[in-house]
Amino acid sequence: MKKIFNRFLQEINKIRFNYTAMGILNTPPIEYKYDNKVVIVSMVGHSTVNMYLIAIKSFILQFGYGSIEVINDGSLTQEDIDIISYHVPDITFFDAVNVDTLTCPTYISWKRLLRIAELAKKSYVIQLDSDTVSSAPLVDIHNKVQENNGFLIGSDRWAAGVDVDFLYNIVRYWKNNHVQARAEEVFKDIEFFSDGTKYLRACAGFCGYPKNFVLF
């Protein structure tokens, strides 16, 4: 009974959120300084258009400049594209289907990463997920962009980079088949970490990729 109630409550909250999020459509188009030295990238689908507009509008309000790209996951309609284009002047769209994943998995998040890698050959790239809201001036992010240093969202549990041997001694007991945990088990055997380079366990939902960060 408790599970049924929680599921019902979740659906009610989802409906309330979606109704509130529609209010973003009544706001004017964003204003910002166009600067192709930094690209703000988000992968967007039909069901997250309003969430994306909240994310990008609040971000630009607190950041002020850049160029903006939406990676279409394949579900955006022409109406979706028209709405986003109205609210975000000078935005560009890129279809995920056009990303060559080479020997990497074809899952949609890999397409996003490889598109970012392509953009980072010429620009600093900020990935902005649609479930983010920026509520204060992004001074630290501006500094990272100007210094061409990357950033990720950390956590209280993983607040700093860790030695991969130390990481292995924790992760191996998780018995987790998720690709992240499986990868973390073998980092100790990869030459990239042989010089003592540490691993930062973090979230890619909001992160910065320095220009020319790609090693291949």
Contact 85/53 with Cβ under 8 angstroms? Answer: no
Q: What pLDDT shows up at residue 215?
A: 55
Residue 135 tokens read as: 């509520």
Sign of the alpha-carbon torsion through 119, 207, 213, 147: positive
What digits encode the pLDDT tens for the residues 81-136? 999 999 999 999 999 999 988 888 788 888 999 999 999 999 999 999 999 999 99
Sheet containing 124-128: give its strands across: 92-95, 65-72, 33-44, 124-128, 203-209, 151-153
How do the domains of the chain map onto residue ranges? 29-153+203-209, 164-193
CATH of range 29-153+203-209; options 3.40.47.40, 1.10.10.10, 3.40.50.150, 3.90.550.10: 3.90.550.10
Diameter over CA atoms, the chain: 55
Q: Which residues pair with 151 in a beta bridge?
A: 208
Q: Compare 14 and 120 and report the one with higher pLDDT.
A: 120
3-state secondary structure of 148: coil
What is the distance between the alpha carbons of residues 34 and 48, in angstroms, rounded to a whole number? 24
pTM for the predicted model, two decimal places: 0.86
Confidence of residue 17 (pLDDT cuts 50, 70, 90): confident
What is the overall mean pLDDT for the chain? Answer: 91
